[in-house]
Amino acid sequence: MMDKITELYNRIGLYLPEMLLPSGHIDLQKWSVVACDQFTSQPEYWKAVDRFVGDSPSTLRMILPEVYMQADKDAGHTDQAAEIDKINLNMTKYISDGTLRSIGNCAIYTERTLTSGKKRKGIVLAVDLEKYDYSPHSTAMIRPSEGTVTERLPPRVAIRRRAALESPHILLLFDDRSQEALSVFENISHSMKLAYDFDLMMGGGHITGYRIDPDAQYVELIRFAEILARCGANNNSNMVFAVGDGNHSLAAAKTYWEELKASGAHNLPAQYALVEIVNIYDDAMEFEPIHRIIFGINTEELIALLVGSIPALCSMKVIYQNTGESQNTAGYIETNDKNKQIIPFISTDTNGIIEITGSPYKNAAGTFQYCLEKITQSAKAAAMKVDYIHGRKALEELVFSSQNSGNAVISNTTTGFYMPEIGRDDFFATIVKEGKYPLKAFSIGHANEKRYYLESRKIR
């Protein structure tokens, strides 16, 4: 029976790895921290996490939060090489001192209760990096859902080259409108061994995990793989999974694996990567737009640059409104005109909306990103800094906190742009047809609802 499971799982790029979890004496709430690519403009969040963790064993000591990758002097971390050294030493220490223990080759069925009360279900296991390709217009079984910024890979690859462990924040999506696949394990969760059950730190909700034993649950594992294979056929391509979160971490794992292959290596632990797979139609799956905030340039100057950088045969109209009352912005604005895209913006001095017609991009985020990448090449934008913000509230807090900074230069040069929501009914079809969504077009849930690091796997 195990041979049949292995054959089926290999066919769709899955693998049941030897999983590691913290030993019983470890405080799981301090161990488990949110994905490294969250709160990138809020170093105070990560400082609070550091205070909460203290000297306890924690995945915080095995990651490099992206806020520090930006070498922000205000964050207090500028020496990436030294940080990477510490990360790899901590991984080795957690293996040798008994912090981590093996629970054997298995998968883990997870139920994440969000702060809204909704429950998101998933399966933690490994994927074969030979089945993944992050290049534009990939035809692989596992594909990115957005563009990969190769400049962001080196620090992640540097960590993985020497890492003894991996711990995932990667979410892969599959297209199961009938919601059959995960119900296979949901229906028998009462009979599976509890792997963990605790409240996540910093308002992250609750997480429960059950060990899926390939000897005891082999019937369910086979049924699950058969449903996934069928889901992959639904989109008229061989794509089974789209990367929903953590594409750059998965791309770093792929890059390192290609390095090893080039040196003659094959069939090593590094050929695989630990992930959680989630149904895009899960009731708790909420697709949130990722907004843009731009520092260092006056709002009017910025808008003028955007207008001057629109794609060919495209037009852009700017409507200023509520000057002096920008905190009352309408935020999201919908339109039934399929040829029109609307992007609201806010600053401490003014707000308004940008109307775009005739864009070659299906989504307003694609049009905006095109313009943004074009204007960054302008001399006028030399001092401009762009960040990608999860959550409307966080965007507004960052814009209007500059108003209270006491620095007139800062307060007059911060502008936030609201991006539109992404639908999931044509999500996979869009990737198959167009190759990917634009960079940072969407996020799955709010920042504190992202995957927390918890399970680990040896990769050396």
List C-alpha distances in Å: 219 to 3, 175, 185, 378.
13, 22, 11, 59
Q: pLDDT grade, residue 457 (50/70/90)?
A: very high
Residue 193, pLDDT > 90, answer yes
Q: What confidence score (pLDDT) does residue 441 get? A: 83
**What is the sign of the dihedral through the CA atoms of 446, 449, 450 and 452?**
positive
pTM above 0.85, yes or no: no
DSSP secondary structure, 110-177, as one string: EEEE-TTS-EEEEEEEEEEGGGB--STT--SSEEESB---GGGHHHHHHHHHH-SEE----EEEE--T
Q: pLDDT grade, residue 78 (50/70/90)?
A: low
Q: What confidence score (pLDDT) does residue 183 get? A: 96
Q: What confidence score (pLDDT) does residue 147 get? A: 80
Rounded to an integer, what distance in angstroms lies between the CA atom of residue 416 and that of residue 429?
A: 30
Q: What confidence score (pLDDT) does residue 403 get? A: 55
pLDDT greater at residue 407 or residue 84: 84
Residue 329, pLDDT > 80, answer no
pLDDT tens-place string over residues 278-313:
999 999 998 888 899 999 998 999 999 999 999 988
Rounded to an integer, what distance in angstroms lies between the CA atom of residue 185 and that of residue 107?
A: 11
Enumerate the domain spans of the chain. Answer: 2-285+443-458, 291-421
Average pLDDT, the chain: 88
Q: What confidence score (pLDDT) does residue 377 get? A: 80
No. of helices (H) and no. of strands (E), the chain: 14, 20
pLDDT tens-place string over residues 347-397:
988 889 999 999 988 788 889 989 998 998 877 778 899 998 888 888 999
Q: What confidence score (pLDDT) does residue 327 get? A: 44
Q: What confidence score (pLDDT) does residue 406 get? A: 47
Q: Which two tokens stand for residue 323?
A: 């000057």
pLDDT tens-place string over residues 9-55:
999 999 999 999 999 999 999 999 999 989 987 899 999 999 999 99
Q: What confidence score (pLDDT) does residue 4 get? A: 84
What is the percentage of the chain residues whose pLDDT exceeds 90? Answer: 60
pLDDT greater at residue 93 or residue 382: 93
pLDDT tens-place string over residues 207-260:
999 999 999 999 999 999 999 998 876 666 789 999 999 999 999 999 999 999
**What Rg, from alpha-carbon coordinates, does the chain have?**
22
What is the percentage of the chain residues whose pLDDT exceeds 70? Answer: 91
Residue 75, pLDDT > 50, answer no
Q: What confidence score (pLDDT) does residue 390 get? A: 81
Q: What confidence score (pLDDT) does residue 324 get? A: 45
Q: Which two tokens stand for residue 320?
A: 């200023």
Looking at 74-83, 117-126, 175-184, 239-248, which range is the least confident one?
74-83
Q: pLDDT grade, residue 402 (50/70/90)?
A: low
Residue 74, pLDDT > 70, answer no
pLDDT, mean of residues 191-201: 97
Looking at 84-98, 113-127, 310-324, which range is the least confident one?
310-324
354: closest CA among 304, 399, 390, 400?
Answer: 304
Q: Which two tokens stand for residue 205?
A: 């909700």
Rounded to an integer, what distance in angstroms lies between the CA atom of residue 90 and that of residue 103?
A: 20
Q: pLDDT grade, residue 408 (50/70/90)?
A: very low
